[in-house]
Structure 1
Amino acid sequence: MSKNKESNFRPDESRRVSMGVRSFSDICNSGLDFNASYQRGDVWDMENRVKFLDAIFAEIDTGSVLLAEIPAEVSVKTGIDYEVVDGKQRLSTIQDYLKDQFEYRGYKFSELSRQDQIFLRRSTVRVGVLPEDSTKKERAQAFLATNDTGVPQSREHLNMVRKMVEEMD
């Protein structure tokens, strides 16, 4: 790293991720590329999808997602506005549910009460957006930075907490 920069650790102003809050439906109505080369396939099973929707309806923070802007000239040709860097499983769950591709607790989206449909469409998520001139390398590095840190919870620990919750009833 250069010693004459203002910061040795923070990116240049032009490289910063812009943050904001957007509704899930706004994001899903944008053209999304879920299949960047560093992404895994669709790995969430129905249990994971249900737990995620449970969290949204319980108004529990579901974390943030990270997108990368697609250059305008490419977006015009492809209809893709953003590449999904982090949050693929969550965003694809919402997108699929809004399109009635699976049932949640016995209901497709179109079968929900109007109140629940509006609630889900208006539910928000924090969104980080990498600038359109970010390189494939920078996007893959951002993927690693958000997915290769920390220590995953062990099944044993999660089961212990589940048992605690059950005992609190």
Structure 2
Amino acid sequence: MEKRTEEKSFSLGRLDIVDLYEWHTNGKLMYETYFQRQFVWKEKDKKDLIDTIMKGYPIPAIFICDAKTNYTTLSKTYNVLDGRQRLESIFEFLDNKYEYKGKKFNQLDEDEKKSILNYNITLIQMYLEPDDTDKIKEIFKRLNKNSYNLNKMEKQSTQLVEYDYMIIAKIVSGIVQIEKIESYLDEISSLFVEEDDGEIDDYSLEEDAGNNIPSEIKELCKFERISNINKLLTTDIVFSHYDRQRQIALQYFLNIFACIIKDEIINRNVPEKLIIELSEIDKNILSEKLSKCNDACGILLGLYDEGIDSFWKNKTSFFTLIVLFARNLEKVKKISVERIKQILEEFQNSNESEWEKYNEASRQGVNDKKVRELREQILLKLLLGK
């Protein structure tokens, strides 16, 4: 890297991929700004990047700044301001986590490996103090103006995060820790207010949104009260890393919890209007319904711990089972987890027409209200004789 001078706010440098990988493995690259965009590339994006590198074409520069200096070990770490998706895609390929043209990195010939490891990447080092958050945020905003588009769920969760229902959903799905919710809201407000694209145009965040969270919401979302929900939404049991980063787990919770609160199946995804409506419900009712949801998730975790067939871990059955368990909690609690597992697996291995209906309803039109109701009706009859 070019030596820092007082006259410059940044400097240009270059490093080979092999050197950047060494930084990565030695923990020299950090992603400490929690407001940073999450890792959202699909495998196709990753393979396209490797193809660009293999062909020797240029890729955008990586922006970094000092993170901290350890004066005991005489070592320095760097915070990645922009380029995380590119770096993680490269490192994952070097770690043999996906294939390029049918081959993982360790299967490439020596010349192919050299072309990747010796590829030169431009680094732009910003001269910022590690705790100069105002400048870091400003640079981050400017770098991300034209970056990877937010999907509709990300936009909705950003623009409606001032409402209690969305705050609860973000906490239980692990997107933000409750002790950091106020600072998170303020960061989101300043960083991700985007131009109107016609999809969400009625709501925006106030600058002081982080100061308006009711104390009862914080009490309601204490970890011991949401631990089962949190485990299901933040681990790889049902949702992949990519699902969670794109807030798909969050969307499922929004839909599931809406069904539990309203005690009816909703159609497709919960709309903005309903999010606002559910935010105005008495907090005692919200607390009661959240407890039911957490207990229902506890039963489902028990099934998964018992080693139930993976079919019941798909997102469709995950949705149906939690809603069914929560809406019929006292009756379901009277059935042992082992017995529920036995019933479901015998049903799955049967040739009954009801299984064919359920299986079909788990694969097509899965979010339509009638299809969701059909799945629940079939399992209600199976488990509770209704």
What's the TM-score once normalised by structure 1's chain length?
A: 0.72
The answer to whether the 8 A contact 2:61-2:122 is kept is: yes
> Counterpart of 1:146?
143
Structure 2: distance between partners of 1:97 and 1:76:
30
1:83 aligns with 2:79: yes
* Structure 1 portions without partners, runs of 5+: 1-11, 153-169
Greater percentage in helix: 2
Q: Determine helix, strand or coil for the equivalent of 2:125.
A: strand
1:26 aligns with 2:26: no
Runs of 4+ in structure 1 over 3 Å off: 12-15, 74-77
The answer to whether the 8 A contact 2:52-2:58 is kept is: yes
Query: How much does 1:28 deviate?
Result: 2.6
Question: Residue 81 and residue 57 in structure 1: after superposition, are their counterparts in 2 closer, same or farther (change >3 A)?
Answer: same
Question: Residue 46 and residue 149 in structure 1: after superposition, are their counterparts in 2 closer, same or farther (change >3 A)?
Answer: closer
Question: Residue 25 and residue 149 in structure 1: after superposition, are their counterparts in 2 closer, same or farther (change >3 A)?
Answer: same
Matches within 5 A, 1:3-22: 13=6, 16-22=9-15
1:69 aligns with 2:62: no
Q: Determine helix, strand or coil for the equivalent of 2:37.
A: coil
1:44 aligns with 2:41: yes
Structure with the greater alpha carbon radius of gyration: 2
Greater percentage in strand: 1
Taking only the aligned residue pairs, the percentage that are identical comes to 20
Matches within 5 A, 1:49-64: 49-64=46-61
The answer to whether the 8 A contact 1:100-1:108 is kept is: yes
Query: How much does 1:51 deviate?
Result: 0.9
Q: Determine helix, strand or coil for the equivalent of 2:103.
A: coil
Which has the higher relative contact order, 1 or 2, with Cα contacts under 8 A spaced 6 or more apart?
1
Amino acid at match of 2:103: Y
* Structure 2 portions without partners, runs of 5+: 150-386
Query: How much does 1:13 deviate?
Result: 3.4
Question: Residue 13 and residue 80 in structure 1: after superposition, are their counterparts in 2 closer, same or farther (change >3 A)?
Answer: closer
Matches within 5 A, 1:112-131: 112-131=108-127
Q: Determine helix, strand or coil for the equivalent of 1:13.
A: coil
The answer to whether the 8 A contact 1:70-1:132 is kept is: no
1:136 aligns with 2:147: no
Query: How much does 1:71 deviate?
Result: 2.1
Matches within 5 A, 1:87-106: 87-106=83-102
The aligned length equals: 139
Query: How much does 1:87 deviate?
Result: 0.5
Amino acid at match of 2:12: M
Amino acid at match of 2:45: N
